[in-house]
């Protein structure tokens, strides 16, 4: 679990180092450089997380031309939830984790919506690794369109430039399940770690593509679940090659405009214009919730199959032994993993998209509940992973409570 914690703690640092590297953009703008350096400071973290587009280069993903507002379904959240044998007040936990927004859907209707710390329904907040689940959906769509043949294909079939890298011999299945076998140290406290090497490389003009090509193998692919953010970046490179479009363009036409989104989203991009697919999406909280609702509905929206149903099922169903939830000698996490989605395990049969600093899209199909939570928890490096498990317990309590009230 400690290894998984270190990985997730560094995802945000990666993005900061990467986009801070846009020296051509920020070289003469000391104020912006200062904002980058102070991105996670408690006094500014909340404002920064809702205004990334003012600091970094971006590419827009236009909202639906026919936006669909959620129907309202008034509901009251439970006052308490249980965690590790203790009854805790829900409102206090939201405050303690610096929650900036909470959206709850029940049966596809908006049951609860609340914003904090200056955010509102129009705030477009940074997804961090919730973006990985969006990239997975796009891979599924491309496969359904025949642009990708199957997940057993080598990533080098689409991106030949990776042939001399750690991704040689790695399949789409491997990178989808974070099992590439690539050597990657995400210890941001180590000056010589891969994560910091990446930041420095991009700072001197190296593209994210070039950095990915520099990675080398550590173990045979498909043998161990090791969370590596660059695996998601490889998926974006495959999508670009397979579709002939930018990630933003493909997402706009195949996903974002087909699910009634109410607001434009945007991706952070490097100085070569490549989306930082491993965590650089920014959107409103209700639109993040749509992703969860889409998956709760097995990939359908408004009677249209947006993401293939078979893909949705595979994405949230850990298959190989290394991907199963619980203590696992072949994984660095106690959470289960599918195709860029997390599976907590237990009796609820739920799944979730998860980002650093307590970002969530939680889906509980059995109870027809979706919960999206944006946060800016500044103490994540201290106890953020523990707070993630507590957040899941809170979500489950909300889902159980609302199912009872809905009867």
Residue partners of 300: CB distance under 8 A and separation at least 6: 294, 306, 309
Distance of alpha carbon 97 from alpha carbon 380, whole angstroms: 9
User: Could you say which residues of the chain have pLDDT below 50?
Assistant: 6, 23-26, 28-30, 32-33, 189
Both tokens of 233, joined, read: 């970046």
If one counts every other C-beta atom within 10 angstroms of the C-beta of residue 82, the result is 12
- Between CA 12 and CA 14 the distance in angstroms is 5
Sheet-wide strand order for 369-375: 109-115, 99-106, 369-375, 359-364, 351-355, 342-343, 336-337
Could you give the CA distance from residue 236 to residue 54 in angstroms, rounded to a whole number?
24
DSSP-based three-state secondary structure for 89: strand
What structural domains and CATH numbers belong to the chain? 2-406 (3.40.710.10)
Instruction: Say how many Å lie between the first and final Cα of the chain, rounded.
Output: 38
CB count, 10 Å around CB of 366?
12
User: CA-to-CA distance for 186 and 192, rounded, in angstroms?
Assistant: 10
| Beta strand segments in 44-96, E | 58-61, 80-83, 86-89
- CA 323 to CA 340: how far, in whole Å? 11
pLDDT value of position 36: 59
Give CA–CA dist 44/39, Å, rounded: 7
- Kind plus residue range of the DSSP H or E element containing 351: strand 351-355
Do residues 183 and 220 make contact, with C-beta atoms less than 8 angstroms apart?
A: no
On the 0-12 / 13-18 / 19+ scale of CB atoms within 10 A, 404 is: exposed
- Three-class secondary structure of residue 304 per DSSP: strand
125-126 sheet: strands from edge to edge: 58-61, 265-268, 281-283, 125-126
Query: What is the pLDDT, as a whole number, of residue 406?
Result: 59
Q: Which two tokens stand for residue 138?
A: 């796009």
Q: How high is the pLDDT of residue 39?
A: 80
Task: Using only the alpha carbons of the chain, give its radius of gyration.
Answer: 20
Q: E strands of 84-215, at which residues?
A: 86-89, 99-106, 109-115, 125-126
pLDDT at 109: 97
């Amino acid at each position: 679990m400690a290894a998984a914690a270190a990985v997730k703690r560094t995802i945000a640092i990666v993005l900061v180092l990467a986009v801070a590297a846009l020296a051509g953009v920020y070289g003469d703008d000391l104020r912006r450089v200062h904002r980058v350096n102070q991105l996670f400071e408690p006094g500014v973290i909340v404002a920064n997380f809702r205004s990334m587009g003012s600091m970094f280069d971006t590419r827009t993903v236009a909202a639906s031309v026919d936006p669909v507002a959620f129907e309202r379904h008034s509901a009251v959240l439970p006052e308490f939830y249980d965690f590790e044998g203790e009854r805790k007040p829900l409102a206090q936990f939201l405050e303690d984790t610096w929650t900036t927004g909470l959206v709850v859907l029940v049966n596809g209707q908006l049951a609860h919506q609340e914003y904090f710390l200056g955010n509102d329904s129009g705030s477009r907040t940074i997804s961090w690794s919730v973006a990985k689940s969006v990239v997975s959906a796009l891979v599924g769509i491309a496969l359904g369109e025949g642009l990708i043949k199957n997940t057993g294909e080598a990533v080098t079939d689409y991106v030949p430039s990776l042939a001399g890298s750690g991704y040689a011999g790695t399949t789409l299945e491997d990178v989808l399940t974070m099992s590439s076998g690539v050597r990657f140290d995400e210890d941001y406290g180590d000056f010589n770690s891969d994560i910091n090497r990446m930041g420095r490389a991009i700072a001197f003009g190296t593209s994210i593509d070039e950095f990915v090509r520099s990675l080398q193998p550590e173990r045979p692919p498909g043998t161990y679940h090791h969370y590596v953010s660059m695996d998601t970046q490889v998926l974006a490179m495959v999508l670009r090659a397979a579709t002939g479009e930018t990630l933003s363009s493909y997402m706009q036409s195949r996903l974002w405009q087909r699910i009634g989104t109410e607001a434009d989203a945007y991706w952070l991009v490097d100085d070569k214009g490549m989306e930082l697919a491993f965590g650089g999406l920014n959107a409103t909280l209700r639109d993040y919730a749509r992703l969860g609702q889409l998956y709760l509905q097995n990939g359908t929206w408004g009677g249209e199959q947006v993401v293939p149903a078979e893909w949705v099922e595979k994405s949230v169903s850990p298959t190989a032994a290394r991907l199963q939830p619980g203590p696992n000698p072949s994984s660095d996490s106690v959470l289960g993993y599918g195709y860029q989605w997390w599976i907590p395990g237990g009796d609820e049969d739920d799944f979730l998209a998860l980002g650093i600093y307590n970002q969530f899209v939680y889906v509980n199909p059995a109870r027809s509940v979706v919960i999206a939570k944006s946060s800016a928890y500044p103490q994540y490096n201290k106890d953020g992973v523990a707070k993630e498990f507590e957040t899941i317990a809170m979500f489950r309590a909300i889902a159980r409570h609302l199912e009872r009230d809905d009867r």
